[in-house]
Chains A and B, each alone.
Chain A
C-alpha cells in the first residue's frame, strides 16, 4: 500500500514538474552588418608615462579572439587642449583568461607617450583606424589627497569576521578569542573646493618584502567597518542581495577589498576614516608531494610547514577621476558568480564607457601612500586555528 501510494505520488509530481519547463532552442542573430568598435583603456598617473591599450571589440559568437588586435591605429595625445604628440606602439600584450564558458587568448597593443603629465592636466586621447569609427576620451588628473595620520589598535574576536579563502574555519572551541583584527583610524584631506571628488582605499600586504620567498603573489586585505558611514556609498546591495550573493552580511559586517567613496561627508576637506582589517599576517605553507597511494591517479601534496610573515601594510588612498569611479563601482566582473546567474532575470547594465564612439575607460588617479609596520607575530599564533 505504501509502495503504491509512493509510486503514484512520485509519478504525479514528476508529471507536473516535467510539464512546466520546455525545450530551449539555439538561435542565430543577424550580425551581417556588424562593425567592430575601437576599445581604448588606460589609467593615467601624474609624473608617469602614459600607457594606453588599444584593441577592437568582437562578436560574442566569435571564437578567434586574436582578431581583437588593432593594427595600424593612430593615437594622438592632447594635453590641456594642445596636440602634443602621436603615441607609439611599444608592444603587443597577450591576454589569457577563462570565462564561464571558455578559455580565451586575446591581443591588445600598448601605446606609450614620451611625455609625463602633471596634476591638473586635462588629457585627451584620440584614436583612429581604417574602417572603424574614430574615438576619443578625456580625463583630468586629480589632485593627490593627503594622509596625515594613521592610528592602529589591535583587538581579538572569537570568530573570524571574514572567512578568508586561505583558511577554512571549523569552529573555535577553545573558549578564547583567537582571531586578530586591527582597527585603523586614518585622517585624510584633499584640496578641492566645491566639487565632487572620488576616492579609493586599498590596503596591500607588501609580500615583495618577504626575502625568503621573492615571488609570492600579491594580497589585498579586506576592509570592513561597522561605524563609518562613508563606506555605505560604495555598497549598494540590500540584505537580500547579500544573502544570495554570499557577501556575508549575515554577520552584520560588510567588507570590501577596495572601498569607494566621495568627499560628500568630508568636513573642511578633512575626514577621519574608521575601519578595520583582519588576517593581516602573511601565512605561507610549504607542500611536499606525498608518495602515491595506489588508489589515486593524481599526486597528493601534503603541507610540511607553515610560516608566518609580517610584511608592512601599504595603505593606498587614491583620488580617482569620475570615469574611474563609475568603472570601479561596477565591481569585479566574475562571470561564474551567483550575481551573474541571478542577473538573467533583471535589467542588464549598459556598459560604462567614457570613450566616445567606442568602448573602454580612460581615467586618471593620484595616490597617497602610508605604511603600517607590523611586529612579528607571537609564536603561539604561528598555527592556524
Chain B
C-alpha cells in the first residue's frame, strides 16, 4: 500500500514538474517540424503523429522565452485542426474532430423520473437539443470548452461548464424548483415559435389536473376540448372532434400503445387517469411520420415511471370516484413502480340501500315481493415497473385495466292460494253451469337480469437502449384487448296445483323457462414496435422505425341459449346468430428527418409507409409528411405543413353517445381505407410572455364512413357493410390563440372559425347532396385562466362559447299513401341547435403539513350559471289554456319542440391527501 502511494506521488510530481518545464523557442517562417524537434530536445518529450498530418501545415513564426510547454503547444495548435494529447513521455498529435457528441439522460433529481422533452443548450455554441420520450438527449458540439444548460418546466436550471475533446456521456439531475409551483401550459422548451410543427400542443400533468372538469374529475380529453380546432361535441361527452373529423379518427397512445376505447359512462369520462399521466402531446395537424393509423389527431400520453428514490402517493375521494396513486422504489436507484387506481363507488352505496329495501319488502309480505339489485361502476388501473440495467439500458412493464359494468337484476316471488267457486270455467273461459269448490295454489319465481360490461386490458414491455452517443433505440412488445359483453337473461320457475275439494282430485304441473341472449364484440391486438432516434449531427435528427400488429377483430358474437321444461317435456337450444372473426395484419415503416438549415429554417420531412392485409387483400399506403418553420426573428416564425394520413379501422357508432355496443371494424374487401390530405400554415410569435398564433388549415378526407339513413341505435355486425356508406369530408378554418405559460396567472384564449361538410356522392346518405357535419360549429371561443394566489389558494376558470351543433329535426309533415301522418326529413343535419356556452370554476385550498405532505380541498362547479345547453331537440307537445272555454280548462295541447340539456349546474368537491 505504501509503495502504491509513493508511486502515485512520484508520478504526480513528475508530471507537474514536466508540465512546468520552460521552453525557449525562436522560429521564423520555418516548418512546424523544426519547432517540434526543438521542443523534443529541450523537454525530452517525443511527438507521435502520422507524417501526412503535418504535410500541409503552414510555416510558423513563433518566439517564446521560458514559456511552459502547455503554452507553447497551445500557441502552435489551438487555432488549427490538430489537437495534442499528452500521454506519459509522448505528445500525440491527431486530427481534431470537427464535432463531438455529448449525450446522456435528464432526470428529476429527487425521483429519478426521466424528463421528457427537456431542453439542453450549449451557451458557447448556441446549439441545443431536446430529450426524447425516455429522457435521452444527444448534442453535437465543437471540441473544447462548452457550457451546458439543461432546463425543464418546474425545475431549476443549472449551468455546467466543461471541456470536451471526444464523445462524452453526461447525465443531468435537475432539482424541482423551490419557487411556488407554477401551473403552466408549456415551457420554453416547447416554444411554439421554434418547433416546426403546426397544430401541436403539449400539456403536462399539472395543467391536466388544474383545468376544471365535470364533477371534479380532471379529464385529458375534456381539457383538449378547450383547445381551438377541437369541437365542443355533445355536452359532457368526452368525444374528440378535431378539425371536422369524427370521434374515431383520433389515435390515442399510452406509452406508445394504441388504445381503442377511451370512454366511461357513455362518454362522460375518459379512461385517462390524470394522476398517472406525466405528459401529453396533442397533434391536430402536421403529424410527424412516426405516427399513423388515424386521420384527425394524435393524443400521445406518457405515464409516470415511478420514483426511484422514495415512496410517495396521493389518495383522494370525490363525489363520484376515489383515486389512489402510489409510487416508489422496489430497489433503490434500480427499480421503481407506479400504480394508480380510480374507481367509482356509487354502487357501494346503492347496493346496501337496495339490500335493506329488499329485506323490508320480503318481511312485509313473504308470499309476494320483489327484489331488485342494480349497480353501475367503472374503474381504471394503471401500473408501471421501470428497471434500470445500466445508464444506457432500461426496461419498462406497463399494464392497464379499465372497465365499465352495469347490471340490473330483479326477482319476483309470487305465492298464492285461491279457494272458492269459479264463475267461469278454466277450460272454456265461459260461465260455468256447474261451479265447483276448488283450491288453487301457484308458486312463481321469476328472475330477470341485464348485465353489460365493457373494457380494455393492455400490457406492454418496452426496452430502451442508448446504443451509442448518437443512436437511441426502443423496442416494445404490446398486447391489448377490448371487449364488450351484453347479456339479458330470464328465468321462470312455476309450480301450480288445482284440487277439486269435492272429489279430492288434484292436478299439478310445473314449468321452467330460461333464455339468455348474449351479445359480444371486441378486438385483440398483439405486436411489436421498434423505434430509433439517430442524432446524425445538430442539423439532422433522424427517426426511423417499424411496427407490426396482428389484429383479431370480433365484430359481433351473438348467441341465444334457451331451456324450457313443461312437465315431462324438455327443450334445450343454443342458437348462434353470428360469430364472425376477422384476422388482420398491419405493418408500418417510417423515416423522418428533422433538419436545420441555418438558424432560420427548420424542416421535418418524412414518410410513413403502411400495409394492411385483410381477407386476402392488401392495402398499401405511402403517406408523405412535411412541416417547415422559418424564423422571421427570435420571437416570430412562419410555418407550413402537409400530411397525408390513412386509417384502416373505424368505429360503428350509430348514435352520438359512446355505448358498449359500438363496434371497431376493419376495412374489408368492400370497404376501402379512409385517407386524408391536410394542409396548414400559420404565423407564431412570442410577445411579453404571451405565445400568439394564427393558423389556417384545409383538410379533405376520402372514404369517410357513416351509417346510411335510418341506422338503429344498436349497431350490428349483421350485414354491416350494407349499412354503411363511404364519402367525402371537407373542413377548413382559422384558429387564433394567445396563451401565457409563466407566472402566477397563466392560461389561454382561443378563437376558431371553421366549416366542416360531408358528401356521399353515391346518394346513399342525404341523396348525395352536401350537408354540414354534426359538429360544424362555425364559431368557438375558449378561455382558460389558472391563477395561483399563494401557497394555499388557487383558482381555475374555464369558459367556452360555440355556435350550436347540427341535428336532424322533422320540420314538416305530410299524409302518406296509407293515410298516416308522417314526418318529412329532406336533409340530414337540417337544424342548428341553440348556441352552447359554459363556465366552470375550480378552487383549491392547500393545507401544507410536515415532510412535504399536504391536503388539498377542491371545490368545483360545472356550468356555473346553469346555461341551458341542448343535448338534443325533439318534437314534443305543450299545453295551453283553451281559448274556447271560460276558464281555459281543460288545457289544449299543441305540437312544439323541446330542447333537452344533459348537465345542469353541478357542484362537486373532493379531498386529496399527498404524502
Listed in ascending order, the chain A residues whose CB lies under 8 Å from chain B are 2, 5-6, 9-10, 12-13, 16, 19-29, 31, 34, 36-37, 39, 41-43, 53, 55-63, 65, 68, 93, 95, 97, 99, 101-102, 104, 106, 108, 158, 171-173, 175, 236-241, 243-244, 250-252, 302-305, 327, 330, 333, 339, 342-351, 359-361, 383-384
Task: Say how far A183's CB is from chain B's closest CB, in angstroms.
Answer: 19
Which residue on B lies nearest to A238, using beta carbons?
B716
Which residue on A lies nearest to B874, using beta carbons?
A344
19 extra interface residue pairs, beta carbon distance < 8 Å, beyond A20-B902, A23-B904: A39-B815, A41-B816, A57-B813, A58-B812, A59-B812, A62-B813, A102-B895, A240-B486, A244-B714, A251-B562, A252-B573, A252-B575, A333-B820, A343-B712, A346-B655, A347-B654, A347-B710, A350-B709, A361-B816
Q: A29-B811, A333-B820 are in contact. Are A173 and B654 (CB under 8 A)?
A: no
A26 x B714 contact (CB < 8 A) = no
Task: Say how far A274's CB is from chain B's closest CB, in angstroms.
Answer: 19
Q: Please tell me if B430 contacts chain A, counting CB pairs below 8 Å.
A: yes
Give A104 to B814 CA distance when docked, in angstroms.
Answer: 12
Which residue on A lies nearest to B907, using beta carbons?
A19
Q: Could you say which of B46-54, B390-398, B734-742, B825-833 contacts chain A?
A: B825-833
A158 x B566 contact (CB < 8 A) = yes
B904 x A383 contact (CB < 8 A) = no
Q: A158-B569, A344-B874 are in contact. Are A360 and B899 (CB under 8 A)?
A: no
Q: Which residues in A have their C-beta under 8 angstroms from that of B410?
A: none
Most B-side CB within 10 Å, residue of A36, A43, A97:
A97
Q: A53-B817, A58-B814, A238-B716 are in contact. Are A351 and B825 (CB under 8 A)?
A: yes
Q: A65-B821, A303-B430, A351-B826 are in contact. Are A25 and B898 (CB under 8 A)?
A: yes
Q: Please tell me if B718 contacts chain A, counting CB pairs below 8 Å.
A: yes
Which residue on A lies nearest to B567, using beta carbons?
A175
Give A21 to B236 CA distance when docked, in angstroms.
Answer: 12
A303 x B429 contact (CB < 8 A) = yes
A360 x B817 contact (CB < 8 A) = yes
Task: Say how far B913's CB is from chain A's closest CB, in angstroms.
Answer: 23
| Contact among B353, B656, B906 with A6 in the assembled complex (CB-CB below 8 Å) | B353
Q: Please tell me if B657 contacts chain A, counting CB pairs below 8 Å.
A: yes
A351 x B824 contact (CB < 8 A) = yes
B427 x A57 contact (CB < 8 A) = no
B811 x A104 contact (CB < 8 A) = no
Ranked nearest first, the 3 interchain pairs of A and B with the lowest CB-CB distance are A238-B716, A22-B904, A349-B710
Q: Could you say which of B509-517, B675-683, B837-845, B849-857 contacts chain A?
A: B509-517
Q: Please tell me if B558 contacts chain A, counting CB pairs below 8 Å.
A: yes
A/B interface sample: 8 pairs, CB < 8 A: A16-B346, A22-B868, A25-B899, A36-B812, A63-B895, A97-B819, A171-B494, A351-B822
Task: Say how far A61's CB is from chain B's closest CB, in angstroms.
Answer: 5
Q: Please tell me if B882 contacts chain A, counting CB pairs below 8 Å.
A: no
Main secondary structure of the interface of A (DSSP, over half): mixed
Which residue on A lies nearest to B716, using beta carbons?
A238
A237 x B712 contact (CB < 8 A) = yes
B349 x A13 contact (CB < 8 A) = yes
Q: A173-B566, A348-B808, A351-B825 are in contact. Are A384 and B429 (CB under 8 A)?
A: yes
B734-785 interface with A by 8 A CB criterion:
765-767
Task: Say how far B234's CB is from chain A's closest CB, in angstroms.
Answer: 10
| Contact among B575, B717, B809, B898 with A26 in the assembled complex (CB-CB below 8 Å) | B898
Q: A41-B817, A344-B874 are in contact. Are A27 and B834 (CB under 8 A)?
A: yes
Which residue on A lies nearest to B769, using beta carbons?
A350
A58 x B813 contact (CB < 8 A) = yes
Task: Say how far A25's CB is from chain B's closest CB, in angstroms.
Answer: 5
Q: A108-B815, A172-B566 are in contact. Are A359 and B899 (CB under 8 A)?
A: no
Which residue on B lies nearest to A233, using beta carbons?
B719
B352 x A9 contact (CB < 8 A) = yes
Q: Which residues in B have their C-beta under 8 angstroms from that of A29?
A: 809, 811, 831, 897
Which residue on B lies nearest to A19, using beta carbons?
B906
B868-883 interface with A by 8 A CB criterion:
868, 872-878
A239 x B566 contact (CB < 8 A) = no
Q: Which residues in A have their C-beta under 8 angstroms from that of B812?
A: 34, 36-37, 57-60
| Contact among B575, B713, B893, B900 with A24 in the assembled complex (CB-CB below 8 Å) | B900
Q: A25-B868, A240-B519, A360-B814 are in contact. Are A95 and B712 (CB under 8 A)?
A: no
Q: Which residues in A have their C-beta under 8 angstroms from that of B789?
A: none
B558 x A351 contact (CB < 8 A) = no
Q: Which residues in B have their C-beta under 8 angstroms from that of A244?
A: 714
Q: A6-B353, A240-B519 are in contact. Are A26 and B895 (CB under 8 A)?
A: no
| Contact among B429, B575, B868, B893 with A102 in the assembled complex (CB-CB below 8 Å) | B893
A346 x B712 contact (CB < 8 A) = yes
Which residue on B lies nearest to A235, using beta carbons?
B718
B637-694 interface with A by 8 A CB criterion:
654-657, 661
B711 x A347 contact (CB < 8 A) = yes
Q: Please tell me if B901 contacts chain A, counting CB pairs below 8 Å.
A: yes
Give A25 to B898 CA distance when docked, in angstroms.
Answer: 5
Task: Say how far B464's CB is from chain A's closest CB, in angstroms.
Answer: 45
Q: A108-B815, A239-B517, A347-B654 are in contact. Are A60 and B810 (CB under 8 A)?
A: yes
Q: Please tell me if B189 contacts chain A, counting CB pairs below 8 Å.
A: no
Which residue on B lies nearest to A65, using beta carbons?
B821
Q: A13-B349, A55-B815 are in contact. Are A60 and B823 (CB under 8 A)?
A: yes
Q: Please tell me if B597 contacts chain A, counting CB pairs below 8 Å.
A: no
Q: Please tell me if B408 contacts chain A, counting CB pairs below 8 Å.
A: no
Q: A57-B824, A238-B558, A350-B709 are in contact. Are A333 and B816 (CB under 8 A)?
A: yes
Q: Please tell me if B547 contacts chain A, counting CB pairs below 8 Å.
A: no
Q: Which residues in A have their C-beta under 8 angstroms from that of B815?
A: 39, 53, 55, 68, 95, 106, 108
B712 x A350 contact (CB < 8 A) = no
Most A-side CB within 10 Å, residue of B568, B821, B895:
B821
Q: Please tell me if B707 contacts chain A, counting CB pairs below 8 Å.
A: yes
Task: Say how far A205's CB is from chain B's closest CB, in angstroms.
Answer: 20
Task: Say how far B652's CB is from chain A's closest CB, in angstroms.
Answer: 11
Q: Please tell me if B885 contacts chain A, counting CB pairs below 8 Å.
A: no
A175 x B566 contact (CB < 8 A) = yes
Give A41 to B509 CA distance when docked, in angstroms.
Answer: 56
Which residue on B lies nearest to A244, using beta carbons?
B714
Bitwise interface map of B from 383 to 411 toward A, beta carbon under 8 Å scored 1, else 0:
00000000000000000000000000000
Task: Say how far A221's CB is from chain B's closest CB, in angstroms.
Answer: 19
B898 x A239 contact (CB < 8 A) = no
Q: Which residues in A have their C-beta under 8 angstroms from that of B903?
A: 20, 22
Q: Which residues in B have their C-beta under 8 angstroms from that of A243?
A: 488, 517
Q: Which residues in A have their C-beta under 8 angstroms from that of B346?
A: 16
A383 x B427 contact (CB < 8 A) = yes
Give A304 to B827 CA distance when docked, in angstroms.
Answer: 54
B811 x A250 contact (CB < 8 A) = no
Task: Say how far A229's CB is from chain B's closest CB, in angstroms.
Answer: 12
Q: Please tell me if B7 contacts chain A, counting CB pairs below 8 Å.
A: no
Q: A29-B897, A347-B707 are in contact. Are A55 and B353 (CB under 8 A)?
A: no
Task: Say how far A336's CB is from chain B's closest CB, in angstroms.
Answer: 12
| Contact among A19, A55, A347, A360 with B808 in the assembled complex (CB-CB below 8 Å) | A347
Task: Say how far A198's CB is from chain B's closest CB, in angstroms.
Answer: 16
A250 x B657 contact (CB < 8 A) = no
Q: A97-B819, A360-B814 are in contact. Are A13 and B711 (CB under 8 A)?
A: no
Q: Which residues in A have their C-beta under 8 angstroms from that of B866?
A: 22
Q: Please tell me if B57 contacts chain A, counting CB pairs below 8 Å.
A: no
Task: Say how far B585's CB is from chain A's closest CB, in angstroms.
Answer: 28
Give A305 to B428 CA distance when docked, in angstroms.
Answer: 10
Q: A236-B719, A360-B814 are in contact. Are A27 and B872 (CB under 8 A)?
A: no
Q: Which residues in B have their C-beta under 8 angstroms from that of A342?
A: 712-713
Which residue on A lies nearest to B577, using beta carbons?
A239
Give A43 to B817 CA distance when docked, in angstroms.
Answer: 9
Give A12 to B350 CA distance when docked, in angstroms.
Answer: 9
Q: Which residues in A have their C-beta under 8 angstroms from that of B823?
A: 60, 351
Give A251 to B717 CA distance when docked, in angstroms.
Answer: 21
Q: Please tell me if B896 contacts chain A, counting CB pairs below 8 Å.
A: yes
Task: Say how far A316's CB is from chain B's closest CB, in angstroms.
Answer: 17
Task: Say how far B353's CB is from chain A's closest CB, in angstroms.
Answer: 4
